[in-house]
Every structure is written in structure tokens, then in C-alpha cells.
Amino acid sequence: MRWPLLHTASSPKSAPMKILAPASTFLMVPKATKSFPNPAPLSEDIPACNLPDSRPYADYAENGTVVVISQPAGQSCAVVGGIMAARMKHLGAEGLVVDGRVRDIVALNETQLPIWSKGTSVIGAGAETKFHACNVRVSVGETIVEPGDIVMIDPFENGVVAVPQGKVEELLELLPKLVGADEKVIADVEQGVSVQEAFKRHRS
């Protein structure tokens, strides 16, 4: 099952704005370093490296997309800092969703990009991880994100969701019905109807 929820917590605090854009994806993998000499072995599910050269990952950011970055679970380092965020902003990224850690919070805020992450760190990415592939399927918690899936960043609702490309039309057809039902429920509740009864009338 593909759960749509990506993150419900954000570290940087940019100006609130709702973003709706296709996803471009970056996959990070562990690497052995002096500080972290025994990285976890790569899963069999990890796709082959598809990078044509050794450019930093930020140089692969695509105009008009929300960049979704998958970092190996349990790592201490940050995978996004001020320099990388500034580069992605310059290339036209609409926002960043990081399944991992970020750093340089002041610099990230200065980009004015919506940036959502699991947490922060003072450790740079090179200490523990490396860029492995772009525009491949990635996992963000329980959610699978494919390149081109539609990502909505909604700071007003305090959440981020991803919609598979093939489900967009179905969702657009369903949303007005859901919103309409909720509006009727709210109207009934404001008139003294119990939530149970209002749900029965309009959601069943």
C-alpha cells in the first residue's frame, strides 16, 4: 500500500506557502569513512547508480519540481545544508522534502524554500553518506515516491503528501465530494447535531 503522507514535521521555517509540483528524487546510500567505518550493506532493492558524472547532487535539481531526498535510516549526518539548498533554489526547485536530516538552518531559511525534514544535524553529508541515484523510486517512511508523482507541501495543514501520477485524475474527481461532505458535517455540528449523526448523514 502506498501511504500518501510524507512528513508532518519541519525544521526550517520559511514563509508559509502551499506548493504543488511533480517530484524529482535523489537517493543517498551509506559510505565507509573514518568516522563511520562500518556502514550498513546496501539493500537488494537499491537500484544501480545512474549518475553520469561526479557532480554534487544539487546540480541535478530540476526546475519546477519538489526535490525528494531519501537518506539511509539511522544516520547522524545531514544531507542538505545551505550551499546545496541555494543551488537547488537557483535551478528552480519549488521545495525540498528530506527523509533525513538537514543543517545550516539560518541559511536554509534565507533561501525561502519550503523545506521539510525529519531532523537536524551539525555533521556534513560526506561523513556518512553519498549520492547514488537520481529520479528513481525512493521510500519516505511508509510512502513510495516515483519521479513525477505530485507532491503537495501545505504548511497551513502542517503536512506533505505525494499522489501517484496515475491517481491524480481520480483524486481531482473525489476531492470536491469529500470537501462538500465535510462542509455539511460542520454545518450540522454547528447546529447541535452530534458528530456521529453528522457523519452518518454525510459520510456513510
State the binding site: 81-84, 103-104
Q: Rounded to the nearest 5°, which phi and psi values hold at 66?
A: -95, 120
Side chain identity at residue 109, one-letter code: N
DSSP 191: T
Q: In this structure, which amino acid lies at residue 90?
A: H
Of the CA atoms within 13 Å of residue 195, those in its CB half-sphere come to 0
Numbered residues of the known binding site for substrate: 81-84, 103
63 neighbors 91 (Cβ within 8 angstroms): yes
Stated length of the chain: 204
Annotated binding site for Mg(2+): 104
